[in-house]
Structure 1
């Protein structure tokens, strides 16, 4: 069973509490707290949100100002602090913590992988020491300058025994439109299962939206129907694999496209 929701507060809501009312009225069951510009929420607020949500699945997206492969140690430390700050808030209302691991800069892929793996391990140890009940999920990224193609993401998760956030729109944009059909999406899901086990299919966290790409991959998110991204085949592949978890809509049309995804999924 997949639960559908929005990346942030729906367009027709003024705050997170009103967001819950909107989501429930639309039969949506999830909301990702978007801390992409900074962690603005207090822990007490998050606790109240969970209580009011009464069944809404909350996740969080860590700030975009993160690079676990930065050359300057200060930037790495600040990146780790931002993820831990996100984890402290999320601990009070949800479980899945999504983050973009970093950029290659001028380093080769192997060195980048090893450094990001080492720094992600440091984060996992801090989360464990603080007894925070969150699951760290590195996201598949949309730009070729970013660490996080599907193979790197799976390898990182395999070595650290964690699970990913699979952003199919990013994968499509990063491939410059080549990965965009049912068989391609099935191959990704099979690769997930083969490398990370059945749990990776039964406990998924997914991002979907329309998307525009250029030479370097992702440019910007678009409404579903203003993009050539084949979200219907993604949903069909997920249904045929009997995938469970959360699908977060990152379209600019948020709840409208989240409902479109839900309806499409139910009609398959």
Structure 2
């Protein structure tokens, strides 16, 4: 079973608590806390949120200012701290922590992979020390300059015993439109199963939205109906694989497109 929700507070709500009311009215069941510009939420607030939204699945997206492959040591240190800070808040209300690992910065794919892997290992050690029960979810990225194609993401998850955030819109944009039909989406899920086991398909975290791309991949998110991204085939592949987990809509029309995805999925 897939639970559908929004990336952040629904656009028709003023804050997270009113957002929960909106989600309930629309039969949506998930909210990703968007810390993309910084971790603004206090731990006490997250506890109250969980209390009020017992029926809602909360996850969090760590800040965009993260590069675990940065050339400067202080940038890596700050990136690690931002993920830990996100984890401290999320630990009070949810489990799945989505983040973009970094950029290649003219380094080889292999070098980038090893540096990022080593720095995530440091984060995992800190999470264990702090007794924070969260699952780090490296996200498949939308830009060619970003670390995070499907293979890199799955290898990282295999090596570090993590689970991915599969963003089908990002994969489509990164491929500049080539990966955009049922067969190609189905093959991605086959790769997930082959690398991480059948149980990983029962605990998925997925991002879907309309998207615009250029030569370098992702440019911006769009409403689903304004994009050529074939979300219906992505949903069909998810249904046929009998996946479970959370689908977060990142479209500018947050809750409206989340409902569109949910209805489309339920009609399959």
Deviation at 1:250, TM superposition (A): 0.1
Deviation at 1:199, TM superposition (A): 1.8
Q: Runs of 5+ in structure 1 lacking a partner? A: none
Equivalent residue number for residue 31 of structure 1: 31
Deviation at 1:55, TM superposition (A): 1.3
1:169-208 aligned within 5 A: 169-208=169-208
Equivalent residue number for residue 95 of structure 1: 95
Deviation at 1:242, TM superposition (A): 0.2
CA distance in 1, matches of 2:197, 2:7: 27
CA distance in 2, matches of 1:85, 1:54: 23
Number of aligned residue pairs: 268
Equivalent residue number for residue 153 of structure 1: 153
User: Cα deviations across residues 215-259 of structure 1 (Å, max 9, x unaligned)?
Assistant: 000000000000000000000000000000000000000000000
Task: State the TM-score, normalizing by the size of structure 2.
Answer: 1.00
Task: State the TM-score, normalizing by the size of structure 1.
Answer: 1.00
What is the CA RMSD across the aligned residues, in angstroms?
0.3
CA distance in 2, matches of 1:264, 1:106: 41
Secondary structure of the structure 1 residue equivalent to 2:163: coil
Secondary structure of the structure 1 residue equivalent to 2:3: strand
Equivalent residue number for residue 128 of structure 1: 128
Equivalent residue number for residue 20 of structure 1: 20
Equivalent residue number for residue 79 of structure 2: 79
Equivalent residue number for residue 209 of structure 1: 209
Secondary structure of the structure 2 residue equivalent to 1:96: strand
CA distance in 1, matches of 2:128, 2:165: 20
Equivalent residue number for residue 140 of structure 2: 140
Equivalent residue number for residue 164 of structure 2: 164
Deviation at 1:106, TM superposition (A): 1.3
